[in-house]
Amino acid sequence: MLNEKTILLIIGGGIAAFKSLDLIRRLREEGARVVPVLTKAAEEFVTPLSVSGLAAEKVYRDLFDLTDEAEMGHIELSRAADLVVVSPATADLLGKMAGGLANDLASTLLMATDKPVLVAPAMNVRMWEHPACQRNVAQLKQDGVLFVGPEEGTMACGEFGPGRLSETPDIIAAIRAALTEGPLKGKHILVTSGPTHEPIDPVRYIANRSSGAQGTAIAKALRDLGADVSFVTGPADVPPPRGVRVIRVETAREMKEAVEAALPAEAAVFAAAVADWRVTSESGSKIKKTQGKLPVLEFSENPDILAGVSQRTEGRPRLVVGFAAETDDVIAHATAKRKRKGCDWIVANDVSPATGIMGGVENAVTLITERGADEWPRMSKDEVARQLAYRIADHLSGN
Binding site for ligand C5P (CB under 6 A): 192, 252, 270, 272, 274, 302-306, 322-324
Three-class SS of 340-392: HHCCCEEEEEECCHHHCCCCCCEECEEEEECCEEEECCCEEHHHHHHHHHHHH
Which of the residues 138, 156, 157, 287 is marked catalytic? 157
Q: Kindly give the pairing relationship between strand 151-154 and strand 146-147.
A: unpaired
| Residues 315, 22: Cα–Cα separation, whole Å | 42
Strand-pairing partners, residue 290, are 293
- 76: burial class by Cβ within 10 Å (0-12, 13-18, 19+)? exposed
Least distance in angstroms from the C-beta of 375 to ligand C5P: 19
The answer to whether 198 and 275 have CB atoms below 8 angstroms apart is yes
- Residue number with CB closer to ligand C5P (46 or 252): 252
**Cα 18 vs. chain centroid, distance in angstroms?**
25
Least distance in angstroms from the C-beta of 337 to ligand C5P: 6
Least distance in angstroms from the C-beta of 206 to ligand C5P: 13
Percent of residues in the chain assigned helix, strand, coil, to nearest 5: 35, 25, 40
Least distance in angstroms from the C-beta of 252 to ligand C5P: 5
Q: Kindly give the pairing relationship between strand 228-233 and strand 245-248.
A: parallel
Least distance in angstroms from the C-beta of 174 to ligand C5P: 27
Which H or E run contains 190? Answer: strand 188-193
- Radius of gyration of the chain from Cα atoms? 24
Least distance in angstroms from the C-beta of 394 to ligand C5P: 21
- Residue number with CB closer to ligand C5P (306 or 385): 306
Region of residue 52 (phi > 0: left; psi between -120 and 50: alpha; otherwise: beta): alpha
The answer to whether 86 and 105 have CB atoms below 8 angstroms apart is no
- Residue number with CB closer to ligand C5P (164 or 278): 278
| Residues 307, 51: Cα–Cα separation, whole Å | 52
- Residue number with CB closer to ligand C5P (118 or 367): 367
Can 133 be counted among the known catalytic residues? no
- Residue number with CB closer to ligand C5P (106 or 305): 305
- Residue number with CB closer to ligand C5P (127 or 358): 358
Q: List the catalytic residues.
A: 157
